[in-house]
Amino acid sequence: MAHRVRGLILGAAALLLGAAVQAEDIVLASTTSTQQSGLFGHILPLFTAKTGIQVKVVALGTGQALDTGRRGDADVLLVHDRPAEDKFVAEGSGVARRDVMYNDFVLVGPKDDPAKVKAARDANDAFKRLATAPFVSRGDKSGTHAAELRFWQAAGVDPKAGSGYKEAGTGMGPTLNMAAALGAYTLSDRGTWLAFKNRQDLEIVFAGDRRMFNPYGVMLVNPAKHPHVKKDAGMKFIDWVTGAEGQAAIAGYRINGEPLFFPDAGK
């Protein structure tokens, strides 16, 4: 009897080991904003429960995420710098790009707003008012950093000419922490800001300009360039996150009743 029980236990263990070996997984290179906002913690378990595919997230700035894809070190990218995404696809590094969701960028700063950014007429005016103010930039070639540079350029401002400009060289959460510690301004995506706890004296001082729209796209790393890319599993994720279930999961992620991202697939 004991031998029979032992045999059953070993057989079950072998089945479990076989299932573990056969389990699919993909590497998703994405942004610190999607990770630090808590979005992936909400939606990825739903995808895994549906498909059995595990998703390993590598959270980087968008520029670094795209470079990860160029090296073939990821299967899927989910990023937010449309010009850079289009270049990535045009050069043959990515395929099957689709819109996924959007939120917006917001300027946050001290509540007393010494640069009077709250009175700005538009984004150009807001960034002109920040020309000499203490400002913490991500400085990490992320999608947010790329957007910030576009805003400075549109405003005709060289931020490095002022003494208050600092580059954090890190993700959105640590950049917000630095701004809070220094009483400085910074540009954030709304999702990370809503999830951010260490606000201290910071608040949103400017938002709402249509130029601060922040769209996210998903794409497969080109398997023709990198044959080891898990095309089928990667496309299952892309189909899911842009399909009805994934879009509903994105819409359902809220903090204090406020959505962090808005589904945008197929629009």
Q: What is the domain partition of the chain in residue ranges?
A: 24-102+215-263, 103-212
Task: Determine the pLDDT at residue 22.
Answer: 55
Domain 24-102+215-263, CATH: 3.40.190.10
Q: List pLDDT tens digits, range 173-224.
A: 999 999 999 999 999 999 999 999 999 999 999 999 999 999 999 999 999 9
24-102+215-263 shares its CATH topology with 103-212: yes
Q: Are 159 and 79 in contact (CB under 8 A)?
A: no
> What number of CA atoms fall less than 13 Å from residue 191's CA on the CB side?
27
Task: Using the predicted structure, report yes or no on whether residue 2 has a pLDDT greater than 90.
Answer: no
Of 233, 114, 122, residue with least CA distance to 182: 114
Q: Class assignment of domain 103-212?
A: alpha beta
The total number of residues written for the chain in this structure: 267
Task: Using the predicted structure, report yes or no on whether residue 62 has a pLDDT greater than 70.
Answer: yes
Q: Are 238 and 218 in contact (CB under 8 A)?
A: yes
Helix then strand then coil, % of the chain, to nearest 5: 45, 25, 30
Task: Determine the pLDDT at residue 8.
Answer: 46
State what percent of residues in the chain have pLDDT above 90.
88
